[in-house]
Chain A
């Protein structure tokens, strides 16, 4: 029972999105099934069994301003 959670993350370059990619990538197979990052849209969507709040904390580790958008 996993859902897709969408977040808005302030990212200005590939370095920023790379950081997000690393923190989420570490959780692959441990609650995170898949994720995609769009730098132009400032959007991160994560397919996961973790809650939106848990994922928000994970992404926030990067120090990037992150807000929850929606769950699909």
Chain B
């Protein structure tokens, strides 16, 4: 992810996932912060959604 427009794309799309309460993507850190309800969502679900959007979301975070 390389520009502010990608950041907004990811934030907008991930925040629509069920159970996701808060999304903040930091371009400078190449990182995303998420708060979600663990009963309906998971790190893996968010990760695979971002991959599905065509962005790379490596597993290390």
Contact = CB atoms under 8 A, between A and B. Distances in A.
Interface in A1-47: 10-16, 18-23
Judged by DSSP, the binding face of B is helix
B19 interface: no
Nearest to A21: B54
Taking residues whose C-beta sits less than 8 angstroms from the other chain, chain B's interface range is: 10 to 19
A23 to B, nearest CB: 4
B5 A10 contact: yes
A41 to B, nearest CB: 17
Contacts of A62: 9, 53-55
A16 B53 contact: no
Nearest to A23: B54
B9 A63 contact: yes
7 contacts: A12-B5, A14-B2, A15-B2, A18-B54, A19-B55, A22-B55, A23-B52
